[in-house]
Structure 1
Amino acid sequence: MNEVVALLVPDGDDECNALELARRVSAGDAGKETLSRLEESFDQLAMRYPVSSPQELLERVRKHFAYVAHLMDARMTLAEQRRLYVVGGWFQLLGATLHIDLNQGHAATTRLRTADTLARHAEHSEIRAWCYETDAWRVLTDGAYRRAVDLSQAAKELAPAGSSVAIQATAQEGRARARLGDPKGVHAAIGRVQRMSTTLEPVKNTKHHYQYEPEKALAYTATTLAWIGDPAAETYAREVITGLAPAGDVQKWPRRVASANIDLALALLVDDRPDEACDAVQRAILSGRVVPSNHWRALEVVRAVEARRLPEARDLREAYQGMSSLGTGER
Structure 2
Amino acid sequence: MLKTPTLSKWSYIQWDRYDKKPIDGYTVLLPVPGDLPVFLKIALEVSANQDSEGLIETLVIPDRKVSGFTECFDKWKKKFDISPLRLINPNPIEQLIARYQNNPHNNHWLQIVRGINASVSTHALLHDADLFITKDDFMKIHYQTCVKRNLMCLGVSPVWDSWYEEHGMNHLTATWEIMFDISWARQFQPWEHRGHNGVIHDKAHTFDTMLYPQCQTKPDKIDRHKQEWGFIHFNYVICTYRWFQKSNAPFEDDYFRILLIRLLIDAFDPSEWSYSIPTLDVLEKGITDKSNRVTYCSKDTAQHYSEFRSKLEKLITSGIIDSEKSYILHKSIRNFDLAFG
- Could you say which TM-score interval applies, normalised by the shorter chain? under 0.3
Structure showing the higher strand proportion among its residues = 2
Q: Normalising to structure 2: TM-score of the pair? A: 0.26
TM-score norm. by structure 1 comes to 0.26
Higher helix share: 1
